């Protein structure tokens, strides 16, 4: 019965492969053969390919779905001409801010490629540091949601007072930790494969190192370019990238589990296949939409200036920054966000229809108040943050012994200026009234103990360990935001 079943399934897989290949151009078929050759060589020859395991990180983005289709075509093509083929591990990370559209795209691509029941494929997800079989309908756990919210706030608050608005760096740290751990899980993998451009790889590594520095971790300057140095950086960071925040605190996070399933040493290397991608993104739509069932959100993909937060929240934060920090109107901040986005979109020579969609979405002053309410609701639902907590995050008033506290209170909560000595006492670990403690928790979204941890942490270092000067950070903000806007993204649809 097993032999008959295996033969029947192999027939199904090969039929699916033929349909998948029908969407490939001649150049893509040639590129597929080159990819197969690269995999066989890195595995040590066709006689060892059956023991070779490849890791692909799946985010539900257009590029990650396309890369997965190429990998699956390579796996089944080898299976059709040799006794065995390489093993494939496909994994995704559950964290706040991941859209249901992305989850649905992951599920549809898995289904179209017949991944779920193939013993040569592991389909995994990580939720609150627990490795589980992928379930697209399962929401992120409550424990995972809270851990993600706290991590975002702790990393986000570690920024120069007048530095760039890089509030979402935690996404780089969480993703990096996840990649390092999923590569060691259950006997590990031999290689991580990615089609990201070198610019995308560098942008991720820069974000990872910047976030690690905010979390109190140091990274060395490693030789190599792009993801060639990724695993060396991840080995330095270890399995708990947030340990400096929670050490000795009551909010310690869960460990990676099941613990006994993780290899002590990581053996994975990196295989770059970006040079093998011969088609442009517009030519891939039939394969993506007709075969994989991918549902695009082009505007979100192109407008996002950070892969870990939606454009509507990005625009909302710009509006809050304008009115809360600089005393301008909320509308002026949204307008600035739109203008910067349009410059970047036209610099990338995107279709004019996308620019028109952006103007329609964010360029109507009459709709700004409604958009603000919708964005605030989205931030509360997806990130667990209120508008007051986002404003607090923009001011980062607790770090460096509350250096920015008076400015924050004066501009946003003038009625609390009289209580400033009590706030300092609370952050120093001394008892204060319950009313003061409640206010601190409500306005920041953090427990008083973690606010105290931020209070005791020194100036924010950069990725090389140098202390960042707030004035310099302000002058570099435009360049940083420019890079974020035009760079590719690991986890967003692009």
**pLDDT tens digits in sequence order for the chain, 494 residues long:** 477 877 888 889 999 999 999 999 999 999 999 999 999 999 999 999 999 999 999 999 889 999 999 999 999 999 999 999 999 999 999 999 888 889 999 999 999 999 999 999 999 999 999 999 999 999 999 999 999 999 999 999 998 777 788 899 999 999 999 999 999 999 999 999 999 999 999 999 999 999 999 999 999 888 777 899 999 999 999 999 999 999 755 566 899 998 889 988 878 999 999 999 887 777 888 999 999 999 987 677 666 656 788 889 999 999 999 999 999 999 999 999 999 989 888 887 777 888 888 888 898 888 888 999 999 999 999 999 999 999 999 999 999 999 999 999 999 999 999 999 999 999 999 999 999 999 999 999 999 999 999 999 988 876 555 665 443 333 333 334 433 433 333 433 33
What local confidence, expressed as pLDDT, does residue 492 receive? 37
Q: How many CB atoms lie within 10 A of CB 33?
A: 12
User: What does DSSP assign to residue 321?
Assistant: I
CA distances from 196 to 270, 283, 308 (A): 12, 17, 17
Q: What is the pLDDT of residue 468?
A: 56
Please list, in sequence order, all residues whose beta carbon lies within 8 angstroms of the beta carbon of residue 75, skipping any fewer than 6 positions away. Answer: 85, 86, 88, 120, 121
- Of 198, 201, 206, 193, the C-alpha closest to 269 is 193
- Nearest CA to 246 out of 207, 216, 210, 212 is that of 216
Q: Are 173 and 211 in contact (CB under 8 A)?
A: yes
The SS3 assignment for 235 reads helix
Respond yes or no on whether the N-terminal peptide bond of residue 283 is cis (omega within 30° of 0): no
pLDDT given for residue 68 in this prediction: 97
Q: 10 Å Cβ neighbour count for 284?
A: 21
Give the relative orientation of helices 142-157 and 170-182 as an angle to the nearest 10 degrees.
130
Q: Measure CA 389 to chain center.
A: 21
Other Cβ atoms closer than 10 A to 8 = 10
β-pair partners for 125: 92, 132
**CA-to-CA distance for 86 and 78, rounded, in angstroms?**
8
């Amino acid at each position: 019965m097993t032999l008959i079943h295996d033969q029947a399934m192999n027939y199904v897989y090969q039929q699916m492969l033929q349909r998948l290949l029908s969407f490939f151009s001649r150049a893509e078929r040639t590129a597929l053969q080159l990819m197969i050759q690269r995999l066989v060589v890195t595995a040590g020859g066709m006689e060892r390919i059956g023991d070779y395991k490849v890791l692909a990180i799946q985010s539900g983005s257009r590029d990650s779905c396309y890369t997965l289709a190429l990998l699956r075509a390579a796996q089944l093509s080898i299976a059709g001409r040799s006794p065995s083929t390489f093993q494939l591990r496909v994994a995704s990370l559950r964290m706040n801010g991941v859209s249901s559209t992305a989850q649905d795209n992951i599920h549809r691509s898995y289904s179209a490629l017949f991944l779920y029941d193939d013993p040569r494929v592991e389909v995994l997800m990580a939720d609150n540091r627990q490795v589980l079989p992928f379930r697209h309908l399962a929401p992120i756990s409550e424990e995972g949601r809270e851990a993600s919210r706290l991590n975002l706030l702790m990393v986000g608050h570690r920024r120069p007072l007048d530095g760039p608005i890089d509030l979402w760096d935690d996404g780089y740290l969480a993703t990096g930790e996840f990649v390092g751990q999923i590569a060691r899980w259950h006997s590990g993998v031999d290689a991580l494969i990615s089609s990201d451009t070198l610019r995308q790889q560098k942008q991720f590594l820069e974000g990872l190192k910047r976030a690690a520095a905010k979390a109190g971790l140091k990274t060395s300057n490693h030789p190599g370019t792009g993801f060639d140095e990724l695993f060396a950086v991840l080995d330095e960071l270890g399995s708990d990238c947030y340990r400096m925040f929670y050490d000795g605190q009551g909010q310690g996070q869960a460990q990676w589990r099941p613990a006994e399933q993780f290899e002590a040493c990581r053996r994975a290397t990196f295989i770059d296949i970006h040079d093998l991608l011969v088609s442009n993104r517009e030519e891939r739509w039939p394969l993506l939409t007709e075969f994989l069932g991918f549902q695009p959100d082009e505007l979100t993909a192109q407008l996002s200036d950070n892969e870990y937060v939606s454009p509507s929240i990005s625009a909302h934060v710009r509006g809050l920054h304008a009115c809360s920090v600089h005393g301008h109107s909320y509308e002026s901040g949204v307008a600035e966000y739109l203008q910067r986005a349009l410059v970047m979109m036209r610099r990338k020579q995107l279709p004019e229809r996308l620019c028109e969609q952006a103007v329609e979405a964010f360029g109507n002053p009459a709709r700004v108040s409604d958009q603000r309410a919708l964005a605030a609701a989205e931030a509360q639902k997806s990130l667990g943050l209120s508008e007051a907590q986002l404003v607090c995050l923009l001011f980062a008033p607790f770090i460096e012994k509350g250096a920015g506290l008076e400015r924050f209170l004066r501009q946003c909560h003038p009625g609390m200026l009289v209580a400033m000595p009590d706030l300092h006492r609370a952050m120093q670990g001394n008892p204060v009234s319950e009313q003061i403690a409640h206010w601190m928790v409500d306005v920041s979204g953090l427990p008083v103990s973690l606010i105290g941890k931020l209070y005791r942490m020194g100036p924010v270092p950069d990725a090389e360990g140098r202390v960042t000067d707030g004035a310099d950070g302000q002058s570099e903000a435009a360049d940083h935001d420019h890079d974020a806007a035009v760079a590719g993204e690991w986890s967003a649809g692009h």
